[in-house]
Amino acid sequence: MERIAALQRTKLFSEVSREGIARLARRATEMQFQPGEMLFFSGDTAKGLFAVVGGKVRVFRHNTEGREQVMHMDTAGATIGEVPVFDDGPYPASAIAEEVTEVLFISTKDIHAFCLEQPEFALRALKLMAERVRRHAQLVEALSFHEVGQRLALLLLNEARQAGVAECGSSTFKLTLSNHEVAIRIGSVRDVVSRALARLQHDGLVKLKARSVTIVDFQALKRYSENGFKMRIASSKQGQFDGAEAH
């Protein structure tokens, strides 16, 4: 019953019939990972996918210089490692447990057999794969075309949403990530993140107190995340213009 409930919490299996879920649950293997323990490495032969029951998993890639880029963070209700299950390739990224993490492992063979039994499940899987491609496209765009301050703003907005704060006016939430963890998430380094946070505070977009973050104006921070440097230049020019008028 616990396995069935865990699988039903995931997007991938949430619409599967009770009978189908029960069959998958019987085939699933319960696994537990300690903090810092790898679920798999990028390039490993993919043997199946993981449904996160509890805990947190960081999925990431390293470049040739050893810098880490976080692809996504997953908690209970997420599935990890679906792509190679369907394209027969290796795992495209590495996954590590951030804390004590419990998962259900389902082999590629069992997933393929289930797709043949229930074609509607295969369509559901395709939809989720498409959603993941869109998210990765957005990540590529952010890393390629957005400055660090914009990427930081995007992260703060997402963290605020996950904390359940209102997306209007002023919003306060607890940032559980350290500056180093933030840097990993946005493809930067800790010192640069610290300066970017200071800049956001100087520009009046956020207020920081310990790890408590107040987004002064949710929509203003969102606009900055989209326009960033252009918005700052416009603000600077307006300030110079106002100063000239004053004289």
Q: Are residues 128 and 222 in the same domain?
A: no
Q: Are residues 68 and 155 in the same domain?
A: no
Q: Of 108, 96, 5, which is closest to residue 47 (Cα–Cα)?
A: 108
Q: Which of 144, 160, 191 is the last residue of a domain?
A: 144
- Predicted structure pTM score: 0.63
Is 6's pLDDT higher than 90?
Answer: yes
The predicted-structure confidence for 26-66, as pLDDT tens digits, reads as follows 999 999 999 999 999 999 999 999 999 999 999 988 766 66
Q: Which of 144, 161, 193 is the last residue of a domain?
A: 144
Q: In the prediction, which pLDDT does 24 show?
A: 92
The predicted-structure confidence for 84-104, as pLDDT tens digits, reads as follows 888 888 998 899 999 999 999
Give the structural domain span for 125. Answer: 2-144
Q: Are residues 79 and 185 in the same domain?
A: no
Q: Are residues 152 and 114 in the same domain?
A: no
Q: In the prediction, which pLDDT does 144 show?
A: 57
Question: Which residues, including other chains, have CB under 8 Å from residue 123's CB and lie 6 or more apart?
Answer: none
Q: Which of 115, 144, 173 is the last residue of a domain?
A: 144
Q: Are residues 167 and 139 in the same domain?
A: no
Query: Strand, helix or coil at 30?
Result: strand
Q: Are residues 192 and 83 in the same domain?
A: no
Domain of 169, CATH number, reads: 1.10.10.10
Q: Are residues 15 and 137 in the same domain?
A: yes
The residue with greater pLDDT, 12 or 134, is 12
Q: Are residues 30 and 113 in the same domain?
A: yes
Q: Among 66-75, 166-175, 191-200, 236-245, whose mean pLDDT is lowest?
A: 236-245
Burial of residue 176, with CB atoms counted within 10 A of its CB: 0-12 exposed, 13-18 middle, 19 or more buried: exposed
Burial of residue 77, with CB atoms counted within 10 A of its CB: 0-12 exposed, 13-18 middle, 19 or more buried: middle
C-alpha to C-alpha distances, 85 to 45, 75, 198, 208, nearest whole angstrom:
10, 20, 43, 43
Is 156's pLDDT higher than 80?
Answer: yes
Q: Are residues 124 and 80 in the same domain?
A: yes
Structurally, the chain folds into a number of domains equal to: 2
Q: Are residues 225 and 184 in the same domain?
A: yes
The predicted-structure confidence for 110-151, as pLDDT tens digits, reads as follows 999 998 888 888 888 878 876 777 665 666 655 555 688 888
Q: Are residues 110 and 232 in the same domain?
A: no
Q: Are residues 110 and 154 in the same domain?
A: no
Domain of 33, CATH number, reads: 2.60.120.10
- Across the chain, what does the average pLDDT equal? 83
